[in-house]
A and B are shown apart, each in its own frame.
Chain A
Amino acid sequence: MNFQFSEEAEALRDQARRFLEDRSPRDKARAVMTAESGIDKALWSEIVGLGWTALRIPEAHGGLGLSVLELCVLAEEIGRAVSPVPFTSSVLLATEALIAAGTEAQKAKWLPKLADGSAIGAVALSEGTAPPGSRSAIQIAGGKASGSKAPVQDGALADFIIFSGADGLYLVETKAAGVQIDPVETMDLVRRSARLTLTDAPVEPLDGGRAALEKFLQSSAVLLAFEGLGGADMAMEMALAYAKERVAFGRKIAGYQAVKHRLADMYIKNQLARSHAYYGAWALLTDASELVQAAAGARLAAMDAFQFAAEENVQLHGGIGFTWESDCQFFYRRARLLTLMLGAKAHWADVLVRSLEQRNTMMAA
């Protein structure tokens, strides 16, 4: 049995963590929070320089051709650091969509640019109050689309956006005629969102139709689970560090059971989330028939852990945690972003139970 990351992947984790601790302290996220643009360009250039944007791109398209496990490691580290860069939108989502379902022409055009950092991609799955990717009112005919998608994370930074239509994924270039991108306000102040409005804009479908869209939602669920897991661990570590230094009633508050047990509960949820995330990574890596179940489990466990850790991190900090200056808010807000941008609990519980029902039926047959 080998249910752990390889030594190479762990070495990449160490390197990534050291780099992000050094070059992506949380004051960079804070600076972006009040800046005009939602990106730290210098940091993004360094990340491109490390090859992270090229990680999964095949060598033929100018990438490194590494496995999805290495990508999971980076997703987790970026989640810990809340780095103000479009890594999730461009690398975890847009690049992965192209690798999995892009046409040869789309891959040839965009993957080299994504690899060398000369292009940024974003993904638009959300429309109205439907779970992302489930329904779409965008009108598409004769290679032209009209309609609107929001919120689109990092939409204002993107050179192209991959969006979900009723019958699959489409690509639209943001500089094309009939494409309008307007900022929208969301709960997450660091990772900005936009509204994508298409008016007879030229679009091209990706391959694979609805099936490719479904598969994309599953792989995204796993990758965002790793990002959430990183956030959950960091929120727990912040709460731990604070509890070990804050004194009340003559003792460090870390000594009180009400505090200790809350932290133990964070640890429990984070460990469950880690185990499910690994299972999702395995299913993705091996394209296992358990992918739907594993992806839904990874997502549900990670979002549950992240939201709990983010909420209780503020709580254990007390009043200081509720201030604008406190870093607690990054995680409190980011947990909402990750949960809502890809479908909330009811949706993924439905996906999970459907796959479990199918498995039960198959086992009975």
Chain B
Amino acid sequence: MDFEDTPEEAAYRAQVRAWIEANKDALPEGDYGSRAESVAAAKKWQARKYEAGYVGITWPKAVGGQGGTAMQQIIFNQEEARYNAPTGLYAIGLGMCIPTVFTHGLSPDIAQRYVPVAMKGEEVWCQLFSEPAAGSDLAGIRTRAERDGDEWVINGQKVWTSGAHLSDFGIVVTRTDPNVPKHKGLTMFIVDMKAPGVEVRPIKQMSGGSEFNEVFFTDVRIKDTHRLGEVGEGWKVSLTTLMHERLAVGGKPASVPGVKEMIELAKAIDLAEGTALEQSHVRQRVADAYIADQGIALTRMRTISALSSGRTPGPESSISKVVVAKTMQDVGSFAADLCESAGLMMGEDAPSLPHLSRFQTSYIGAAGLRIAGGTDEILRNIIAERVLGLPGEIRPDKDIPFSEATKLGL
């Protein structure tokens, strides 16, 4: 056992490292002043990566990718993560939308039109899946697409669409046939987010931020050439999208405070009998956080190790998000608990204790993370059904036409 790169991996890492070092003038220093500045910084960095061949590392060469390995993508991500690189703007577009476009686009023209421009970062993409009545149960979407000659007319509403307000294009799942069972009547399209009839309204989240949106479609026209996959095959196409989701994120995001910060905070809190960190119950909670955070990081090492040696990784990475999100919440509340009522005060009124404000912020954000991208409950279902082989849920609406099911209130 070792944590070393193979010679090929080490060579690739050295090459990536040298390139980032030579191009770090394109990376922003410190925080962004405004949204426009952060978008400009992301576009600049993406263009540099594209020129150097670091976009679509694992994609086939035929679509403009590098035909590289998953390990190369992991190594690039690891090296990029050592810098303050602005990558969030393209995460969904390049991670999920564009692979769907080049896999299911109807003609080479479509791929040529959209793929290189997106790779350069000149166009931003979003994924329009969830709806007010279809979150965990994605196949319950109601947005209609009706055929009109060689066009389709879209009406309906999407919600929780990350980055829709910054996007030029999106992939949208619609219902094209309500008279068949729910999974069978879906079709996916490429939609121009600037087209007439598309309205994007930001949603203000519990955290105060607005990263996602409601998107309304009113008689939006899409050419049939912009369909992805066959009519009625939208469910299968959407599974491709979800499969292409970026290689499972490496545990806790670096911005989220964890074990190290817990220790520093507990050490700074004086009690009558020493610091909070000296108390056994506090040490046990620090240990719990370590087991979770370090456990996820190590679990990812197992996955990478399998990829590196050419084996197929096991399903162990399926535990990642459910553990990371709940740990973030537990650690956030415990950190504030350590400060007693002073732990309530935020911003300029917060007591000057190390990392307290970061814990408060991550506690609020954790409530969203436990829901986004698969709720805790759905993720447990997935582990139970796909990994452990347990039966699926009873679905009374599964085999009857969608229109019938909605009439029955299912």
Partners in one complex: yes
A positions within 8 Å CB-CB of B: 1-5, 69, 240, 243-244, 251-252, 254-255, 257, 259-261, 263-265, 267-268, 271-276, 278-279, 281-282, 285-286, 296-297, 300-301, 304, 345-346, 348-350, 352-353, 356-357, 360
A285 to chain B: which residues have CB within 8 Å?
A: 1
B385 to chain A: which residues have CB within 8 Å?
A: 260
> Is B290 within 8 A of A356, CB to CB?
yes
- Segment of B229-237, B341-349, B387-395 in the binding face: B387-395
Contact of A264 among B3, B287, B384, B391 (CB under 8 A): B384
Given contacts A2-B309, A267-B319, contact A353 B388 (CB under 8 A): no
Cβ-based interface call for B406 (8 A): no
> Is B393 within 8 A of A257, CB to CB?
yes
The A-contacting residues of B in range 252-310, CB under 8 angstroms, are: 259-260, 263-264, 267, 277, 280, 283-284, 286-287, 290-292, 294-296, 298-299, 301-302, 304-306, 308-309
Among A244, A261, A286: residue with most chain B CB under 10 A: A261
Of chain A, the residue at the smallest CB distance from B294 is: A297
> Is B287 within 8 A of A240, CB to CB?
no
Measured between alpha carbons, how far is A296 from B391 in the docked complex, in Å? 37
A276 to chain B: which residues have CB within 8 Å?
A: 291, 294-295, 298
Cβ-based interface call for B27 (8 A): no
- Segment of B116-124, B362-370, B375-383 in the binding face: B375-383
Among A254, A265, A268, A304: residue with most chain B CB under 10 A: A268
Cβ-based interface call for B180 (8 A): no
B323 to chain A: which residues have CB within 8 Å?
A: 268, 272
Cβ-based interface call for B5 (8 A): yes
Of chain A, the residue at the smallest CB distance from B379 is: A264
Measured between alpha carbons, how far is A268 from B286 in the docked complex, in Å? 19
Cβ-based interface call for B4 (8 A): yes
CB proximity of B298 to chain A, nearest CB, Å: 4
> Is B388 within 8 A of A240, CB to CB?
yes
> Is A255 within 8 A of B298, CB to CB?
no
Of chain B, the residue at the smallest CB distance from A4 is: B305
> Is B3 within 8 A of A3, CB to CB?
yes
Measured between alpha carbons, how far is A352 from B306 in the docked complex, in Å? 28
> Is A275 within 8 A of B299, CB to CB?
yes
Measured between alpha carbons, how far is A5 from B306 in the docked complex, in Å? 11
> Is A353 within 8 A of B3, CB to CB?
no
Contact of A254 among B4, B263, B277, B391 (CB under 8 A): B391
Measured between alpha carbons, how far is A39 from B302 in the docked complex, in Å? 37
B295 to chain A: which residues have CB within 8 Å?
A: 271-273, 275-276, 297, 301
Of chain A, the residue at the smallest CB distance from B392 is: A255
> Is A1 within 8 A of B387, CB to CB?
no
CB proximity of A334 to chain B, nearest CB, Å: 21
Apart from A2-B2, A282-B3, 13 more pairs, CB < 8 Å: A251-B391, A255-B390, A264-B381, A268-B322, A271-B316, A272-B299, A276-B294, A282-B1, A301-B295, A304-B291, A346-B280, A357-B263, A360-B260
A255 to chain B: which residues have CB within 8 Å?
A: 390-394
Nearest first, the 6 A-B pairs at minimum CB distance are: A272-B295, A349-B287, A260-B384, A275-B298, A3-B305, A264-B380
Measured between alpha carbons, how far is A261 from B301 in the docked complex, in Å? 25
> Is B1 within 8 A of A281, CB to CB?
yes
Measured between alpha carbons, how far is A274 from B388 in the docked complex, in Å? 17
Of chain B, the residue at the smallest CB distance from A350 is: B283
* Interface CB pairs A-B, < 8 A, 26: A2-B2, A3-B301, A3-B302, A4-B305, A4-B306, A244-B390, A251-B391, A257-B377, A257-B393, A260-B385, A261-B380, A268-B319, A275-B316, A276-B291, A276-B298, A282-B2, A286-B1, A297-B290, A300-B287, A346-B283, A350-B283, A353-B277, A353-B283, A356-B260, A357-B267, A360-B260
Measured between alpha carbons, how far is A345 from B3 in the docked complex, in Å? 29
Measured between alpha carbons, how far is A281 from B3 in the docked complex, in Å? 13
A271 to chain B: which residues have CB within 8 Å?
A: 295, 299, 316, 319
CB proximity of A296 to chain B, nearest CB, Å: 8
Measured between alpha carbons, how far is A284 from B302 in the docked complex, in Å? 17
Measured between alpha carbons, how far is A110 from B26 in the docked complex, in Å? 66
Contact of A4 among B5, B292, B302 (CB under 8 A): B302
B393 to chain A: which residues have CB within 8 Å?
A: 255, 257
> Is B286 within 8 A of A349, CB to CB?
yes
Measured between alpha carbons, how far is A264 from B384 in the docked complex, in Å? 5
Given contacts A304-B291, A356-B290, contact A267 B299 (CB under 8 A): no
CB proximity of B307 to chain A, nearest CB, Å: 9
> Is A275 within 8 A of B301, CB to CB?
yes
B291 to chain A: which residues have CB within 8 Å?
A: 272, 276, 297, 300-301, 304
Measured between alpha carbons, how far is A240 from B390 in the docked complex, in Å? 8
A267 to chain B: which residues have CB within 8 Å?
A: 319, 383, 387-388
CB proximity of A292 to chain B, nearest CB, Å: 13
> Is A272 within 8 A of B319, CB to CB?
yes
> Is B280 within 8 A of A4, CB to CB?
no
A357 to chain B: which residues have CB within 8 Å?
A: 263, 267, 277
B302 to chain A: which residues have CB within 8 Å?
A: 3-4, 274-275, 278
B383 to chain A: which residues have CB within 8 Å?
A: 264, 267-268
A286 to chain B: which residues have CB within 8 Å?
A: 1-2
B296 to chain A: which residues have CB within 8 Å?
A: 272, 275
> Is A278 within 8 A of B286, CB to CB?
no
The A-contacting residues of B in range 136-169, CB under 8 angstroms, are: none
> Is B3 within 8 A of A1, CB to CB?
yes
Of chain A, the residue at the smallest CB distance from B301 is: A3
Contact of B1 among A4, A244, A260, A261 (CB under 8 A): A4
CB proximity of B246 to chain A, nearest CB, Å: 19
B384 to chain A: which residues have CB within 8 Å?
A: 260-261, 263-264
Given contacts A264-B380, A352-B290, contact A252 B391 (CB under 8 A): yes
Given contacts A252-B391, A267-B387, A275-B299, contact A2 B290 (CB under 8 A): no
Measured between alpha carbons, how far is A346 from B304 in the docked complex, in Å? 33
Of chain B, the residue at the smallest CB distance from A347 is: B280
CB proximity of B389 to chain A, nearest CB, Å: 8
Could you give, for residues 1-32 of chain B, a 1 whenever the CB lies within 8 Å of some chain A CB and a 0 otherwise?
11111000100000000000000000000000
> Is A279 within 8 A of B263, CB to CB?
no
Measured between alpha carbons, how far is A281 from B1 in the docked complex, in Å? 9
B381 to chain A: which residues have CB within 8 Å?
A: 257, 260-261, 264
Among A2, A263, A297, A304: residue with most chain B CB under 10 A: A2
Contact of B305 among A2, A268, A300, A353 (CB under 8 A): A2
CB proximity of B394 to chain A, nearest CB, Å: 7
